Amino acid sequence: MASIERLHRTAPLDLAKLEEDVVGNLPAIRAAPSGTMPDYVEHEEGVTRVGALTAEAVVRDYEAAAREIEAMGAELISAAKKCEAMTAEVHNAIAFMRDTAASYREEAKKIFKRIEECAIFTEQVRKTCESVKLKMIESKV
């Protein structure tokens, strides 16, 4: 005796439970989009009611997907505008950094020149002091 026959004879078939299991495993049926059909399609003459309803359901699903794609495009445009604004801010920051670096170089140039002027002045003072010292030593002799 086959195993299915044994199962059938040993356990009574609960039709309510079987129907509940089958219905529970079916995918959820969502409501079809309603409203007018897109203007880029129209029914052919002589199409059956079932064919027309099926075609409408399919074209509405495609139209809903197309609208979602367009919405993604709008989001992409918004993101691009944000990137452009950020890029402009980056360019401003770079210009500020270049100006700051140029100011630092100008300040370094001033300090460099001042230090060298002080070094020259100090050398002149040292030479003057040395000359005066030598004159003092020569006049004592």
User: For 29-87, how does the pLDDT look when each residue is reduced to its tens digit (9 = 90+)?
Assistant: 565 556 778 889 998 999 999 999 999 999 999 999 999 999 999 999 999 999 999 99
Q: Band of the pLDDT at 6, cuts 50, 70, 90?
A: low
At 85, list the tokens: 């604004």
Q: How far apart are CA 62 and CA 27, in angstroms?
A: 20
Neighbours of 63 (CB within 10 A): 16
Predicted TM-score (pTM) of the model is: 0.44
Q: Which tokens sit at 93? A: 């920051």
CB-neighbour burial class of residue 16 (10 A; exposed 0-12, middle 13-18, buried 19+) = exposed
Position 4 scores a pLDDT of: 55
